[in-house]
């Protein structure tokens, strides 16, 4: 499913993706049907592809694929500043090793920010705020990210420009290769007209 910005995936709140799933998804016909639930998390401000399980066995199997790092996630972000065309970031997050690869697809000049970049990101680990922290660590914070921003470059009121673009994995029961995609939001396209 596509997660909009400004909504929690789950937690002790009424307005969450998890609470909305029962009313918005067709119930599974499998014998181990259960209340649908997200099998991974996206930050409150992050948009994009979110994987949902509708049976007990699928939730367990998908969680195992995440645990084994057999699911490939691709994100896109708009970052601030001059960047190398590609690279790997391996700084620790919460004192744990982690790795993110990035590739710059487009760069435009910006009067306020100098440069804005459309960056493809591939996290190899799943630490909390990993991509946001990694990009900030190399001096290229995500546009609209107030937690990891450079003080004078904070963008207020527009949200954070981080999007979970795709999820790829081998289906745990059919062995079919799955590639689920959530198109880039319009606000990305307003900055980079050729996407």
Q: What is the mean pLDDT of residues 174-194?
A: 93
Six-digit token string for 134: 């990694």
Checking if the pLDDT of 146 tops 70, the result is: yes
Residue 99 CA, chain-centre distance (Å), reads 15
Checking if the pLDDT of 154 tops 70, the result is: no
Q: What is the mean pLDDT of residues 136-142?
A: 95
Checking if the pLDDT of 158 tops 80, the result is: no
The answer to whether residues 59 and 37 touch, using CB atoms and an 8 Å cutoff, is yes
The answer to whether residues 30 and 129 touch, using CB atoms and an 8 Å cutoff, is no
> What pLDDT is attached to residue 134?
97
Checking if the pLDDT of 182 tops 90, the result is: yes
Checking if the pLDDT of 103 tops 90, the result is: yes
How many angstroms separate the first and last alpha carbons of the chain?
Answer: 22
pLDDT band at 163 (very low <50, low <70, confident <90, very high): very high
The answer to whether residues 76 and 120 touch, using CB atoms and an 8 Å cutoff, is yes
> What pLDDT is attached to residue 156?
66
Encode pLDDT of 36-89 as tens digits: 999 998 988 899 999 999 999 999 999 999 999 999 999 999 999 999 999 999
- Higher per-residue pLDDT: 1 or 31: 31
Q: What is the mean pLDDT of residues 164-184?
A: 96
Task: Please state, in angstroms and rounded to a whole number, the distance separating the CA atoms of residues 47 and 41.
Answer: 11
Q: What is the mean pLDDT of residues 3-18?
A: 79
At CA 88, angle to CA 82 and CA 94, rounded to 5?
Answer: 100
Mean pLDDT (the chain, rounded): 91
Task: Please state, in angstroms and rounded to a whole number, the distance separating the CA atoms of residues 158 and 192.
Answer: 16
| Phi, psi of 77, rounded to the nearest 5 degrees | -140, 155
Task: Please state, in angstroms and rounded to a whole number, the distance separating the CA atoms of residues 17 and 20.
Answer: 5
Question: Across the strands, what pairs with 73?
Answer: 167
CA distances to 121, 135, 182 from 105, rounded to whole Å, are 11, 15, 18
Longest dimension (CA), the chain: 58
The answer to whether residues 83 and 126 touch, using CB atoms and an 8 Å cutoff, is no
Judging by beta carbons within 10 Å of its beta carbon (0-12, 13-18, 19+), is residue 28 exposed, middle or buried? middle
Q: Return the C-alpha torsion angle 64, 97, 90, 146, nearest 10.
A: 80
């Amino acid at each position: 499913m596509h997660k909009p910005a400004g909504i929690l995936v789950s937690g002790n709140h009424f307005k969450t993706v998890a609470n909305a799933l029962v009313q918005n998804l067709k119930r599974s016909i499998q014998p181990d049907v259960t209340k649908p639930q997200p099998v991974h998390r996206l930050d409150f401000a992050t948009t994009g592809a979110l994987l949902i399980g509708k049976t007990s066995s699928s939730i367990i199997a998908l969680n195992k694929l995440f645990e084994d790092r057999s699911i490939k996630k691709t994100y896109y972000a708009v970052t601030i500043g001059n960047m190398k065309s590609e690279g790997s970031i391996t700084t620790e997050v919460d004192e744990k090793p982690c790795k993110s690869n990035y590739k710059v697809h487009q760069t435009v000049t910006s009067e306020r920010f100098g440069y804005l970049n459309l960056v493809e990101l591939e996290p190899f680990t799943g630490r909390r705020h990993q991509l946001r922290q990694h990009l900030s660590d190399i001096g290229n914070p995500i546009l609209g990210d107030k937690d990891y921003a450079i003080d004078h470059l904070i963008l207020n009121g527009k949200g954070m420009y981080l999007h979970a673009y795709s999820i790829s994995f081998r289906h745990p029961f059919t062995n079919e290769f799955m590639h689920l995609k959530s198109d880039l939001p319009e606000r990305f396209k307003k900055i980079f007209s050729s996407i």
